[in-house]
């Protein structure tokens, strides 16, 4: 009755695409995954209801078998479908960097600011809006070479300081930076670690963050198109030089942008 195409396995820190389709009149749709619920936008083509859903496994998630549940309302009746997805550990490497000491151990005077910024960013990355602005494939944000990959164990000034939760691109100072998909600007600002930054809500739980800009060219509430210039590359925040740090979140989970950029769909659901 309802086709639910989901992968059997997914790695930690990895996004994945679920395709839902039915020839029956689909009145409502909800997808439950990892304690969250998203109601994906549904399109009808030639009488068939279709909905792509981007989900993911957080970088720090535990391994094991998870259940993905789809609830569909058809002719006034709810029908539930489930799939199991095995979460496996992804392989990550290590990276050593040198930055100013204040970016490792910030002054006490900066700590309230950092905490306020974390709360703002946490709220922005968890945005799950009913509209779906994104379509496949996603647009590369800049032509520069991919540098530091997602998930790296990072050692700053000889001290292990967590994981790399984004993907870095080479982008000389002033290089135009582009939105990977259409979306709405939900947060901009200058942050202690991220520098000048733009959060884009691409709809249905997909949010991207572009960091370290020299100049932001959009403002909160703006609607942008795929490939639109949203800012210029820079070296603001905790950096070793000018570049783009791109982060991606699905339903609040931090996932690998590089994997996201590789997702394709022959039907595209556009």
The predicted-structure confidence for 160-194, as pLDDT tens digits, reads as follows: 567 889 999 999 999 999 999 999 999 999 999 99
* Beta carbons of 184 and 204 less than 8 angstroms apart: no
**Residue 156, phi-psi category: left (phi > 0), alpha (psi -120 to 50), beta (remainder):** beta
Position 157 scores a pLDDT of 58
The predicted-structure confidence for 219-229, as pLDDT tens digits, reads as follows: 999 999 999 99
Q: Which CATH architecture describes the domain 94-262?
A: Distorted Sandwich (2.70)
Q: Where in the chain is the domain with CATH 2.70.70.10?
A: 94-262
The predicted-structure confidence for 239-253, as pLDDT tens digits, reads as follows: 888 999 999 999 999
User: pLDDT at residue 98 above 70?
Assistant: no
CA distance 80 to 37: 14
pTM for the structure as a whole: 0.91
Position 163 scores a pLDDT of 82
Q: Average pLDDT of the chain?
A: 91
The values of phi and psi at residue 157, to 5°, are 55, 40
Position 156 scores a pLDDT of 60
Q: Is the dihedral of CA 114, 166, 224, 142 positive or negative?
A: positive
Mean pLDDT, rounded, for 211-235: 98
Burial (0-12, 13-18, 19+ Cβ within 10 Å), 85 = buried
How far is residue 167 from each of residues 42, 54, 141, measured CA to CA in Å? 30, 18, 11
* Beta carbons of 20 and 29 less than 8 angstroms apart: yes
Q: Which residue has the higher pLDDT, 115 or 270?
A: 115
- List beta partners, residue 184: 201, 223
The predicted-structure confidence for 128-153, as pLDDT tens digits, reads as follows: 999 999 999 999 999 999 988 898 87
User: pLDDT at residue 155 above 80?
Assistant: no
The predicted-structure confidence for 9-63, as pLDDT tens digits, reads as follows: 999 999 999 999 999 989 999 999 999 999 999 999 888 999 999 999 999 999 9
Q: Where in the chain is the domain with CATH 2.60.40.10?
A: 3-88
CA distance 212 to 216: 10
* Beta carbons of 209 and 125 less than 8 angstroms apart: yes
According to CATH, the topology of domain 3-88 is: Immunoglobulin-like (2.60.40)
pLDDT band at 158 (very low <50, low <70, confident <90, very high): low
Cα 118 to chain center, whole Å? Answer: 16
Cα pseudo-dihedral 210, 215, 218, 221, rounded to 10: 70
């Amino acid at each position: 009755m309802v086709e639910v195409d989901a992968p059997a396995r997914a790695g930690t820190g990895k996004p994945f695409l679920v395709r839902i389709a039915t020839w029956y009149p689909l009145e409502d749709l909800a997808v439950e995954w990892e304690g969250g619920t998203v109601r994906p936008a549904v399109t009808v083509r030639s009488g068939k209801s279709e909905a792509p859903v981007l989900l993911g496994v957080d970088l720090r998630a535990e391994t094991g078998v998870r259940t993905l549940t789809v609830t569909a309302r058809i002719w006034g009746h709810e029908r539930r479908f489930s799939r199991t997805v095995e979460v496996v550990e992804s392989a990550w490497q290590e990276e050593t960097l040198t930055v100013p000491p204040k970016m490792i151990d910030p002054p006490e005077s900066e700590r309230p600011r950092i905490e306020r910024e974390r709360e703002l960013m946490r709220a922005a990355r968890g945005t799950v809006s009913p509209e779906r602005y994104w379509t496949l494939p996603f647009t590369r944000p800049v032509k520069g070479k991919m540098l530091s990959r997602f998930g790296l164990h990072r050692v700053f000034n000889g001290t292990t300081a967590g994981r790399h939760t984004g993907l870095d691109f080479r982008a000389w100072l002033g290089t135009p930076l582009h939105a990977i998909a259409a979306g709405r600007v939900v947060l901009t600002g200058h942050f202690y670690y991220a520098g000048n930054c733009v959060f884009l809500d691409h709809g249905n739980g997909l949010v991207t963050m572009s960091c370290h800009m020299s100049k932001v060219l959009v403002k909160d509430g703006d609607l942008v198109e795929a490939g639109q210039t949203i800012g210029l590359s820079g070296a603001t925040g905790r950096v070793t030089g000018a570049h783009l740090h791109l982060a991606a979140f699905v339903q609040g989970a931090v996932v690998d942008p590089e994997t996201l950029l590789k997702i394709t769909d022959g039907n595209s659901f556009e």
